[in-house]
Amino acid sequence: MALRLGDEAPNFSADTTEGKIDFHQWLGNGWGILFSHPADFTPVCTTELGAAAKLKPEFDKRGVKCIAISVDPLSAHQGWIPDINETQRCSMNFPIIADPDRLVSSMYDMIHPNADATFTVRSVFIIGPDKKVKLTLTYPASTGRNFLELLRVIDSLQLTAKYKVATPANWEHGQDCIITPAVKDAEIAALFPKGARHVKPYLRYTPQPNA
Ligand code: BEZ
> Cα torsion for 192, 193, 195, 198, to the nearest 10°?
30
Q: Assess whether the C-beta atom of 57 lies below 6 angstroms from ligand 1.
A: no
In angstroms, what is the span from residue 44 Cα to ligand 1's centroid? 5
What is the distance between the terminal CA atoms of the chain, rounded to a whole angstrom?
39
pLDDT in tens, 90-112: 999 999 999 999 999 999 999 99
What pLDDT is stored for residue 1 in this prediction?
73
In angstroms, what is the span from residue 2 Cα to ligand 1's centroid? 23
Q: Which of 69, 110, 142, 143 to mutate to test the pocket of ligand 1 (most atoms within 8 A of CB)?
A: 142
pLDDT in tens, 154-201: 999 999 999 999 999 999 999 999 999 999 999 999 999 999 999 999
Q: Assess whether the C-beta atom of 47 lies below 6 angstroms from ligand 1.
A: no
Element (H, E) at 145: none
CA atoms within 13 A on the CB side of 57: 3
Q: Can you give the C-alpha Rg of the chain in angstroms?
A: 19
pLDDT at 71 over 90: yes
- The catalytic residues are 45
In angstroms, what is the span from residue 141 Cα to ligand 1's centroid? 5
What would the DSSP string read from start to end of 67-121? Answer: EEEESS-HHHHHHHHHHHHHHHT----S-EEE-TT-HHHHHTT---TTT-SSS--
